[in-house]
Structures are given as structure tokens and as C-alpha cells.
Structure 1
Amino acid sequence: MLMFSNNQKISVRQLKRLLVMDWIGKISLLLPRFIVQSSGKDLILSLILGVGITAVYTCIVCYLSRYITRSFGGYVELRLGRASAFALCLVYWSYMFVNLLYITRVFGAVTRQYMLPELSENIPCILMLLGGFYASMDPKERRGRIAEVLYPFVLIPLLILLVIASFGVQSEYFTYESANFNAVTMKQSFQVFTAFGGVSLILFEAPFIQKSGMRLRTTLKGLMITAIGIGAAILIGIGSFGDQGMKALRWPVVTLMSNVDIPGGFLQRFDILFLALLLMSFFVAASTGIFYLNLIFKEMFKQPEEKHYHLLMLILSIAGVLWCKNVEIAQQLFLTVNCYLLIPIMAVFTVIFAILEWEKRRRSK
């Protein structure tokens, strides 16, 4: 039985489930598209390296979050001044806005291609944002409650799917050649790291998380669950379709689901059922996006908690999605703006602040 609190905080268990639900849908559909540049084994190597980099960065983020008691914007303002705090908050806000555009367009494209081909892509996009808007409103722990409920309905079918799909793997698709460690592998490792770049936003949510001492372990658990699930799906996809087949597919993970044959003829439309459950994780991701847009906006402009600011974030999100006409534009925007500009800025400042805090504590001993 689930027990929910009303203390404007989320538990570390809910934090883990929020992270997994936020990551697993987006990353499972994003990462396989990197395979067009390399072989499947190189992508797995990139995934391992990228997750390793993310784990180290997560340790840095969680270390810094221990010293944020009220707000990250206020923390930065005390150290760098009002103008610098505004600029850095604008970087985080822009990252989340572009991320929200991308996941919303992915949701619309997948829904139209596999479930409702006669429907305009904009309709599921707007419905997703409306659902995310509702889930992101006060109380702040509402997002945690929704993730708590949806988590087993997404993860358990995923596990069942992977087990059944593994029986269709063809060994001839796996060669004994070693993966190549080259410039492409390094680039893809960086892209994997940027796919998990949202871990930086824990700095803004730190004041709302219970049991702050367990923050690091919980976040790393969420990272490992996501990485193992996506890594297994990619491996099974390579074993089912081969490298060239994976490169030819637009959404290889979704195609893998549609090819699963349930023993005994039971649930022949399991692919649609699971796809619907997977897409539910996008509603959690949308709620996270709108929540952070509103939270960071208030820290940028020193605004109190007002519902009309929340509504403004929804309107801006819908306008952005309508401007970003398709998923190809959204993906290019995500790679160009988030991966190669905003996430490096966020990471550099996080590392600098963590080093300064460590040096400050060392000198005070």
C-alpha cells in the first residue's frame, strides 16, 4: 500500500522513480538514433563510458546539493552576484525548455506513427503538455505520487518484453570483433552524458527532497536502472535486427516491441499496450519540465508562488512545440543547443562550485 505525505517534499524513493520515468522514455528513443554513426558494439561502449561519466558527475552534483538549503538561485547569487545568478538560471531554464520541446515532439511523432496515424501530431503533443501541467502543480509532491504509481506499470512490462524478445536474438549478428575506441566513440559517450544532463537540476530540487543524505545513492540507483534497461534493449535490438537493421529503423526500440510474439497467442497487441505504458512516462517527464520551468522562472525574477506564472510556462511550452514543427527539428535543436552548449556550461559551473565548497570546508578544518 502506498503512503503519501503532504509536506511539500518528495521522498528519495519518489526521486528515484521520477528520474527513471523522466529518463527511460526519452533516452531509449534518443540513443539508438546515434547508431547511424557506428556499429552496435561501439554504441554499447559509448553507453558504458557515458554512464560512467554521468555517475562521476552525479557524485559532484549531489555533493554540491548538500550546501543548498533554500534555493540554487540564491546560492549562486551569494557567491557571484545577482546578474550572474540570473544568467545561470537562464541557462538552466533554456535547457529545460529545449528538453521539453524534444520529448513532446517525440511523444507526438511516436503516437501518430504507431497508434493514431490519422491524428495531427500537434494534438497528442498538446495533450501531453496539459497532463504535465496538471501533474506539476502544487502540492509539489504530486509529481512524486504520480511517478510512484506509474513506475511498476512501466518497468515490469519492460522487463517482460526484454525477456521474451531475448529469445529471438540471432547469434550471427554478434561478431567477435572488439569495439573501436575512437573519436566517434568519444563523441557518442559525450552524447550519452548529455542525455542524462538533467541530473544537474537536482540542485534546484534539493530543498524539496527528504533524507538528503541518501540523495546520491538514490540518484545512482535511478541512473543504473535506466542504463541497464536501455543497454539491454539495444543489445537485444542488435541481436534481432543487426547493425544495419538498427540503422534503418526510425524507432528501433518501438519496432522491437511490435515484433514480440507472446507465447500462446495471449495479448497479441502487447506492443501497443506496452507502448502506451512507455509513453505514460513522457507525462511524468512533461510534469518535471513544466515544474522546473516555473521554479527557475520564479528564482530568476524573484517572484512568489502564483498560479498565473505556472500557466505562463504552459503557454510558452505549447507555443514552442507549435513553432518546432517536427521531431527532426526538435532533435537537432536538442543536440545543438542542449548537448553542445547549455549542458557543458551547467557542468562547468557545477564542478567549479563543488571545488570551491570543498576548498572552503578543507580550510575551515
Structure 2
Amino acid sequence: MVNHKESITSYQASAIIANTTLGASMMILPRAMAQAAATPDGWIALLLMSGIYIVFIFANVLMMKKVPFSSYYDYTNEGLGKWIGALANLLIIIYFLGVASYEVRAMSEMVKFFLLQNTPVAVTMISFILVGLYLVVGGIGDFARLCPFFLIVTLIILFIAYGLSVQEFKLDNLRPVLGEGFSPVFKSFNASAISFVGIEMMLFMPVYMNTQKHTFAYGAIGFLIPAIIYIFTYILVVGAFTVKETATLTWPTIALFQSFDIQGIFIERIESFLLIVWLVQLYTSFVGYTFFAAMGVSKLTKLPKKVVLTLMGIVIYFAAVFPKDVDTVRDYLTYVNNLFFLLFGILPFLLFIIVFFKRRRKAA
């Protein structure tokens, strides 16, 4: 399914992680955090969760250096055996396809709400899936070369948009800090954790890296870019709308950029650029998850590439149309988050212990 002769640089790996992590989360993160915390302290939860994930990245890098592996799918087979390993790999594939279908549904909802109100959702979804699968066919090399460009454009647009949105920001909306203690912060941990889904990509890229010397660097940089964006996004949105209003907005980040006009230049509404950029982010996130899902299906079934992608496209489409509305889509993320912690929070440490002693026993 994949061309193992392809290689990617550390810079490209960081861009892949950053683009994959961003996805649709930035558009709904402030609402989810505001609903969970009910206080302005969600930024503290994001800051603490960022620190936890940096430790997670560091621990995984240490384990990968101590017990090297080329593919995470092969790693699970080595640690858990043929049958249990195949079941774990199947869960990983389901998780990847679940996230990919979420990106498709989030894209369709955004396009229908802001851009193409009269276009059937099915047409939008199918077009998005087909264009995404086209890039997957090209392999990780094409995807890796595209991600840095998309990321730079995204950062430039966000830098301009955030700079302009400062005029709506009111510091008093973020006060008092820890007015109700740490309890609201802990309540919003789960909402913040979902937003960082994407960091697990670092476990699947060693086989494609042209050097393994900078694993922690590319993982940490790729994670910190969206982490910083999320923190600034939450602070700006809540600072502009207050926590109570943010909790009621469907797309709070876009609402922020709709709340002010820019006079005297060729474009008066910056959210037009933001929507285009975020469609690109949804696309790159979709391609990343679909690519690594296809990699797993190929290893599991040995089916031809065209058959794998066709089946995956059908599964992703029906999984995307299954939720009834936007709120159901957000509930859907809860299951994805649970799988994330099981497969990439607990399983890597379990595999490390098992494989470490297995290899030690064989070497004895």
C-alpha cells in the first residue's frame, strides 16, 4: 500500500503533525471548553494539558529509542502476538477512519452553514473524500511536501486575523482567574484532550524518516504549534464574547472574526480567508488519518491499493452521514477520545514492557 522508499524530513514530519492536529478542533474548541469549565479558566486547562502531552511525547521518544520499531502496526503484532495484535490494529484502523469521517462531517457542516447552503451535503462529502483519496494514492512523499506550505499559509492568516481581533478583546472577560478554584479546570481537561488528537502520528512516521535523530524535536514542534494556536484562540474568543456567550455559539472562532469589519482594503471580512484556510486544514487532517488507516488495512488484509481505498471511502462516507446533527457529531468525538487514550495513551507503554522483555529474553 505504501512505498517504503519514500522518506520525509523532520521539518515535514512536524508540519504533518501540526496540520493533522489542527483539523476542525480550533473552530469548536472554545465552545467545548466554555461548556465544560463554565469559567474563563479553560486556558489554564489547555496549558496544563500541553505540558502533559509534551511529557507523553518525551516518554514515547525514549521508548522508541530503547525498543526501536519501523511500523507501529508491526510493533503491536510483536508485542501482542498475531491474533491479539491484529485486533489492536483493527481498533487503530477504526479509530483513524472515525477521525477521518469526523473531519468530513465537520467540513460539510461548515461549508453548508457558511458557503454553499443549497448544495446537497452528499455532494460536498463525496467530492472531499475523492480529492483526499487522490492525494493518498500519491503516497506520503506528496503529502509531506504539501503540509509545510499549507501550515505556513495558515499561520500567516491566523497571525493577521488574531492581530485584527484584538480590538474586540476585553481582559475583564477572563477574570477572575481561578475564581472557583481548580475544579472547573479539571472538568475541562477532557474537552481540551480531544483537541490534541493528532499527536499520535509521531508513532507511525519513523519508517518514513530519513533520520531518527530529531524525533523529540519534530514531535514537540509539531504539537506546540497547534497548542499555542488553541490557547490564543480560546483567550481571544472568551475575551471577546464572555464564557456564557461562547458556550452558546456553534462556531465561536468564526463568530469572532465576523464580529468586526476591516475598512479600506480589498477584503472587509477576514473570516472568508479563515474558512478557506480551515477547509485546507480539514483536508490535510483527513488525508493524514486516511493514509495511515490505509497503511494498516493493507498490512491486515493484503488487498490491492485501489480496493483498499474504495472500501475506505465508502466506510468514511457512511460514518460521516450517520450523526443526525452537529451536537451528535460532538458526542461522537467522545468515543474517538476514549479510543485515543486506549490505543495511544495506554497501549504504547504496555507494548514497550512486553517487547522489551521479549527481545531481552531472545538476546540472552
Q: Please report the TM-score for the alignment, with normalisation by the length of structure 2.
A: 0.89
How far did residue 360 of structure 1 move?
Answer: 8.1
Distance 1:210 1:179 in 2: 49
Distance 2:168 2:180 in 1: 26
How far did residue 252 of structure 1 move?
Answer: 0.5
Distance 2:84 2:183 in 1: 34
Q: Which moved more, 1:347-356 or 1:98-107?
A: 347-356
Give 2:107's aligned amino acid: F
> Could you tell me which residue of structure 1 aligns to residue 171 of structure 2?
171
How far did residue 359 of structure 1 move?
Answer: 7.1
1:200-349 matched pairs, under 5 angstroms: 200-301=200-301, 303=302, 306-335=305-334, 337-349=335-347
CA RMSD across the alignment: 2.6
Q: Please report the TM-score for the alignment, with normalisation by the length of structure 1.
A: 0.89
Distance 2:147 2:359 in 1: 36
Distance 1:230 1:217, change over 3 A: same
How far did residue 185 of structure 1 move?
Answer: 2.8
Distance 1:148 1:241 in 2: 32
> Could you tell me which residue of structure 2 aligns to residue 11 of structure 1?
9
How far did residue 144 of structure 1 move?
Answer: 0.8
Distance 1:360 1:113 in 2: 54
Distance 1:186 1:330 in 2: 23
Task: Give per-residue Cα distances to partners, 1:160-218, cap 9 Å, x unaligned.
Answer: 10011112212332323425455553242233224323322432332012222212111
1:149-160 matched pairs, under 5 angstroms: 149-160=149-160
Q: Once the two structures are aligned, what percentage of the paired residues are identical? A: 18
> Could you tell me which residue of structure 1 aligns to residue 56 of structure 2?
57
How far did residue 267 of structure 1 move?
Answer: 1.1
Give the SS at the match of 1:264: coil
Distance 2:116 2:58 in 1: 42
Q: Kindly indicate whether residue 112 of structure 2 is the aligned counterpart of residue 112 of structure 1.
A: yes
Give the SS at the match of 2:337: helix
Distance 1:151 1:345, change over 3 A: closer
Give the SS at the match of 1:73: helix
Give 1:39's aligned amino acid: A
Distance 1:14 1:304 in 2: 29
**Contact 1:197 1:343 (C-alpha < 8 Å) held by counterparts:** no
Q: Kindly indicate whether residue 21 of structure 2 is the aligned counterpart of residue 23 of structure 1.
A: yes
How far did residue 141 of structure 1 move?
Answer: 0.9
Q: Kindly indicate whether residue 43 of structure 2 is the aligned counterpart of residue 44 of structure 1.
A: yes
Distance 2:159 2:358 in 1: 46
Distance 1:85 1:362, change over 3 A: closer
Distance 1:28 1:172, change over 3 A: same
Q: Which moved more, 1:10-19 or 1:34-43?
A: 34-43
How far did residue 350 of structure 1 move?
Answer: 0.9
Distance 2:202 2:175 in 1: 40
**Contact 1:54 1:193 (C-alpha < 8 Å) held by counterparts:** no
Aligned length: 358
**Contact 1:93 1:293 (C-alpha < 8 Å) held by counterparts:** yes
> Could you tell me which residue of structure 1 aligns to residue 30 of structure 2?
32
Distance 2:181 2:337 in 1: 21
Task: Give per-residue Cα distances to partners, 1:323-349, cap 9 Å, x unaligned.
Answer: 3343332221221x2223453343111
